[in-house]
Structure 1
Amino acid sequence: MSRNFGLGSRNMVTAAQFALNNTVQAAGMGFSHAAETGRNFAQFAAFARENGVKQMEYINRELVIEYGQQLADRVSNNEIGQGHAQNAVSAINTLMRIATQGEWQRVSPTRECGIDQRSAIRETPPTGLDRTQLERGIAALSERGVAIAELAREFGLRTKEASLLNARSALREATSRGAVTISDGTKGGREREIPLTSARQLAVLERAAAAQRAARAVMPADQNWKSWRENGLRDIRETLQQHGVSRLHDLRSAYACDRYQQITGYAAPVLGGQAPRDIDREARLQIANELGHGRISITNSYLGNSA
């Protein structure tokens, strides 16, 4: 049986390049587009091999969606842009469509992988908003997994920020100042401060500090960010998905909705509420700062659109 749909090589990346070259020669694609598609597919092929898939015939939509969800997390952590992540998934779709002669069923970068468009407006409540439901998923996590999920839910942290947080230091600061400074893993290295507004947050920091043990951060001391992101965080995400939490990033949205209610006295727009315009704007500005965003408009993707 031929491998990689008989494209001329037993190596997935080389076979993909042969397919793209043939498409260019048939005037079905430009050189620069083919080169970019090849680079993106090569990165996916490395992910596929790590997951035991070494032939194109065994690439399925579930594998591509899992890869796309990892890209979505990297977008949320500001490691890559939305456009780059969407193009990466589109490249896999393009290559697989060529390899299967049109039989490939396209994977949506936004709808199925959760790679948000910059202008997206949240129209459905975030998963993880219901703490009772979330607690069932958290109960199935490791001690560090619990820390990551709870820090995202109760402080609105990105997964990278939660992973790199020195929870012991944060607990001391929270106890003495009533606020936590977030500096590691932030967008552009910009520090921000998150206020303590509930006893629940202090309890979360206590559990995270216990999970951290002697390490310098919540993330295990024997792993770097890349290995933790691709293994530990993936396990956390998959476990929460099994319990109805579609993405870790949704826990940031849940935090934002809670804060909107606390600040304005109204439910977030995505939950059917609407504060007066001036109060709405003040709340969005505060929430944008707490989430580490420089633009108030980004809150539309967390809270829904204002009137």
Structure 2
Amino acid sequence: MSNKSVKRGRRSAKRKKPAYKRNYSCGKKLSEAIHKALDQHYGSDNHFNTRATHKRRASVFVHYCKRCGMNDARRIDREFILQFGAYIKARLNGDYEWPDGDVDEQISVAYAHNAISTVNTVMRAFRGDGQLKVSARELLGVCRQSVRSKEIQADVLDTKHAVDLAIAAGFVRGAAVILMARAWGMRVRECVIQDLDRMKREIEATGEVTILEGCKGGRRSKDRTIKANAFRMEALNYAIEVRPKGSRNLLSETDTVKSFLRTEINPCRQFLLLSGIPHFMELRAGFAQDIYEEVMGGPSPLKAPIRDKVMDRLAREEVARQLGHNRVSVASSYVGGTRNAA
């Protein structure tokens, strides 16, 4: 019998894989899928703090989705997001009680705005577009209040006390971050990865420094220049002294920003509290107040009523520039509002 006459069995047809998968192919569990989508959206090696913040805030949305039986991000539409907005708005007025008796606690206006902002970011990360974006202001009916009213608790003496405690405990690089944040008004990440050699060269050439590395949200700008003074030089020289050998910044060859925050920065938070400073952001606020009072030639609005509206505006513009925001309105969250203006 020839080979041609032999009938061969039919191969079983392979099942075709679906063109799409649950949660936009980012994972079966919604919480895990959100984390993966954010990592893909921002890049797993970039925007560490931004990704961490959104992942933390997304837990509110995941909780709501579970309570509503929503387990697939592909099914989330504008109507569902509007329902989430109504739920968040209800929590502004008091505790929210579910039909089964479970209670979600009341939240602040700022937290509500942040929760909706995170949902917008998450859905953009999943879909790759902004079709489901909603306005937190329109949904909630209230604006976020970001005008500071409490006096700043981060003077130079308290800062140096926190630095001494950190050094005594062996966290010399964490101490450098504390000092740099108060002296130069930088965020923690900016302090950690700022090119210290470049800063030194710029000071020797021009007497001022440009804050470039680690800026939040792509706010890197050559306009953000800060003049050197004795305190700022003290902070810079100390950072150069304690940095790892061969490094241009405070990171060693084996460090990542994430590991540095865990091993050096987090332990130093207790030293801030022991020195009367609530958190690292307060150090930046102390710097902002120094800039305002230097331009104004008088106390900040947190200490006394504003006497000169023109100079107040100029001082706020300078604060916004040196902090890297370039928005005058943001200065109010650091140095206080304008309600006391004459």
Q: Do they superpose with TM above 0.5? A: yes
Per-residue CA deviations over 1:5-63 (Å, capped at 9, x if unaligned) read: xxxxxxxxxxxxxxxxxxxxxxxxxx9xxx9x9528997xxxxxxxxxxxxxxxxxxxx
Measured after TM superposition, the shift of residue 136 of structure 1 is: 1.9
Measured after TM superposition, the shift of residue 257 of structure 1 is: 0.4
In the TM superposition, 1:18-167 aligns within 5 A as 39=31, 79=50, 84=54, 87-88=57-58, 90=60, 102=102, 119-128=145-154, 130-141=155-166, 142-167=171-196
| 1:264 maps onto 2:290 in alignment | no
Helix, strand or coil: the match of 2:313? helix
Q: Which has the higher contact order (CA 8 A, sep 6+)?
A: 1
In the TM superposition, 1:185-196 aligns within 5 A as 185-187=214-216, 188-192=218-222, 193-196=224-227
Measured after TM superposition, the shift of residue 137 of structure 1 is: 1.4
- CA distance in structure 1 between the aligned counterparts of 2:146 and 2:233, rounded to whole angstroms: 33
Q: Which stretches in structure 2 are left out of the alignment for 5+ residues?
A: 1-22, 36-45, 67-96, 116-142
- CA distance in structure 1 between the aligned counterparts of 2:145 and 2:33, rounded to whole angstroms: 27
Percentage of matched positions with identical amino acids = 24
| 1:179 maps onto 2:208 in alignment | yes
Worse-matched range after superposition: 242-251 or 201-210: 242-251
Measured after TM superposition, the shift of residue 285 of structure 1 is: 0.9
Q: Pick from 230, 245, 259: which aligns with 1:227? A: 259
Measured after TM superposition, the shift of residue 103 of structure 1 is: 7.7
Measured after TM superposition, the shift of residue 287 of structure 1 is: 1.2
> 2:173, 2:250 within 8 Å by CA — same for their partners in 1?
yes
Per-residue CA deviations over 1:156-175 (Å, capped at 9, x if unaligned) read: 10111111112232123213
- CA distance in structure 2 between the aligned counterparts of 1:261 and 1:87, rounded to whole angstroms: 35
Worse-matched range after superposition: 186-195 or 145-154: 186-195
- CA distance in structure 1 between the aligned counterparts of 2:254 and 2:274, rounded to whole angstroms: 27
Amino acid corresponding to residue 286 of structure 1 in structure 2 = E
> 2:156, 2:182 within 8 Å by CA — same for their partners in 1?
no
Helix, strand or coil: the match of 1:245? coil
Amino acid corresponding to residue 194 of structure 1 in structure 2 = T
- CA distance in structure 2 between the aligned counterparts of 1:135 and 1:92, rounded to whole angstroms: 42
Given the superposition, is the C-alpha separation of residues 86 and 224 from structure 1 closer, same or farther in structure 2, using an over 3 Å criterion?
closer
Query: How many residue pairs align between the two structures?
Result: 236
Measured after TM superposition, the shift of residue 184 of structure 1 is: 0.9
> 1:264, 1:275 within 8 Å by CA — same for their partners in 2?
no
Measured after TM superposition, the shift of residue 104 of structure 1 is: 8.1
Amino acid corresponding to residue 285 of structure 1 in structure 2 = E
Measured after TM superposition, the shift of residue 202 of structure 1 is: 1.1
- CA distance in structure 2 between the aligned counterparts of 1:289 and 1:232, rounded to whole angstroms: 29
Measured after TM superposition, the shift of residue 194 of structure 1 is: 2.7
Q: Which position in structure 1 is the counterpart of 2:229?
A: 198
Helix, strand or coil: the match of 1:153? helix
- CA distance in structure 2 between the aligned counterparts of 1:219 and 1:118, rounded to whole angstroms: 36
> 2:180, 2:186 within 8 Å by CA — same for their partners in 1?
yes
> 1:266, 1:273 within 8 Å by CA — same for their partners in 2?
no
Measured after TM superposition, the shift of residue 106 of structure 1 is: 7.2
Helix, strand or coil: the match of 2:175? helix
Q: Which stretches in structure 1 are left out of the alignment for 5+ residues?
A: 1-30, 44-73
> 1:196, 1:202 within 8 Å by CA — same for their partners in 2?
no
Per-residue CA deviations over 1:135-181 (Å, capped at 9, x if unaligned) read: 22111112211211111101110111111112232123213211111
Q: Which position in structure 1 is the counterpart of 2:285?
A: 253
- CA distance in structure 1 between the aligned counterparts of 2:323 and 2:250, rounded to whole angstroms: 19
Point out 4+ residue stretches in structure 1 off by more than 6 angstroms: 40-43, 92-95, 103-111
Measured after TM superposition, the shift of residue 214 of structure 1 is: 2.2
Measured after TM superposition, the shift of residue 236 of structure 1 is: 2.2
Measured after TM superposition, the shift of residue 276 of structure 1 is: 1.0
Helix, strand or coil: the match of 2:174? helix
Give the RMSD, CA atoms, in angstroms.
3.8
Helix, strand or coil: the match of 1:301? helix
- CA distance in structure 2 between the aligned counterparts of 1:155 and 1:166, rounded to whole angstroms: 13
Measured after TM superposition, the shift of residue 224 of structure 1 is: 1.2
> TM-score, normalization: structure 2?
0.58
- CA distance in structure 2 between the aligned counterparts of 1:144 and 1:270, rounded to whole angstroms: 32
Helix, strand or coil: the match of 1:270? coil
Q: Which has the larger Rg?
A: 2
Given the superposition, is the C-alpha separation of residues 283 and 236 from structure 1 closer, same or farther in structure 2, using an over 3 Å criterion?
same
> 2:269, 2:280 within 8 Å by CA — same for their partners in 1?
yes
In the TM superposition, 1:206-217 aligns within 5 A as 206-212=237-243, 213-217=245-249
> 1:93, 1:106 within 8 Å by CA — same for their partners in 2?
no
- CA distance in structure 1 between the aligned counterparts of 2:33 and 2:281, rounded to whole angstroms: 25
> TM-score, normalization: structure 1?
0.64
